[in-house]
Homo-oligomer: A and B are copies of this chain.
Amino acid sequence: MGIADDAVEIRATGWRTLVALHAMIELELERALGESAGLSVVEYTVLDALDRQDGWHMRMQQLARAAALSPSATTRLVTRLEDRGLLTRVLCADDRRGIYSELTAAGRALYETARPVHDAALERVLAEAGERPELAPMVQALHAEPATV
């Protein structure tokens, strides 16, 4: 095998590792959030994104990007959360195509409940992943992130 072939193999292996770590984390978060707040990970992601906007609202597109979802899935996700009274749709005055989503008091309250559970689960699963040799370097990189998303 040449150097180029090695690089291909390394990338493929690294990708499989990333998938494994992603699945492991998501599984645990799904379990913890579902159990404690009846929220899925994407649902939590939306509440989290809205909360990080400091009370301000976000458009469907922004939410779609934050949750890595298609427009249609975002519509339905927002509808679900709206039906549960966790957020409200607000028409945008200056661009009447746009629709803002805004946390309700109940939504913010549920988020406040879910957040520590989420954070604890994440810490736990990352600690566990860090002990597996294949996953450790990527966990390390995850911790080193000073990224502004």
Whether A142 and B17, one on each chain, are in contact in the complex, defined by CB atoms closer than 8 angstroms, is: yes
Whether A22 and B19, one on each chain, are in contact in the complex, defined by CB atoms closer than 8 angstroms, is: yes
Number of interface residues, chain A, beta carbon within 8 A: 39
Q: With contacts A138-B141, A141-B140 known, is A149 near B11, CB below 8 A?
A: no
Residue among B123, B133, B149 making CB contact with A147, cutoff 8 Å: B133
> Is chain A's binding surface mostly helix, strand, loop or mixed?
helix
Chain B CB within 8 A of A15 CB: yes
A60 to B21, CA, bound (A): 21
A128 to B10, CA, bound (A): 17
Whether A142 and B23, one on each chain, are in contact in the complex, defined by CB atoms closer than 8 angstroms, is: no
Chain B CB within 8 A of A122 CB: yes
Chain B CB within 8 A of A94 CB: no
With CB as the reference atom, state the residue of chain B lying closest to A126.
B11
A42 to B59, CA, bound (A): 32
Whether B138 and A142, one on each chain, are in contact in the complex, defined by CB atoms closer than 8 angstroms, is: yes
Chain B residues near A25 (CB-CB < 8 A): 15, 18
In the A-B complex, the 3 residue pairs with the closest CB atoms: A141-B141, A134-B147, A14-B142
Residues of A participating in the B interface, judged by any CB pair closer than 8 Å: 7-8, 10-23, 25, 48, 68, 118-119, 122-123, 126, 133-135, 137-138, 140-149
